[in-house]
Amino acid sequence: MPAGRVRLTVTDRSKTANFHLVGKSVNKRTGMKFRGSTSWSLRLAAGTYRYGTDGRPLTRKLRVK
């Protein structure tokens, strides 16, 4: 994925988990009880971002060039 400004839409249907994205200057998450869709405007810098759900290690990776 190229670096720069992006719009990320998260659709969270889980009753017990959330979505969490963390990396250079980014730390965004939905609430554990949140169900629905939300959009975030983010500026992604080159590097690796981790994502997943809280309560477990954030092991999935998004590489930005």
Number of domains in the chain: 1
pLDDT in tens, 9-54: 999 999 999 999 999 999 999 999 999 999 999 999 999 999 999 9
| Burial class for 17, CB neighbours closer than 10 Å (0-12, 13-18, 19+) | middle
CB atoms within 10 A of CB 64: 17
Q: Which pLDDT band holds residue 55 (cuts at 50, 70, 90)?
A: confident
Structural domain span for residue 60:
4-64
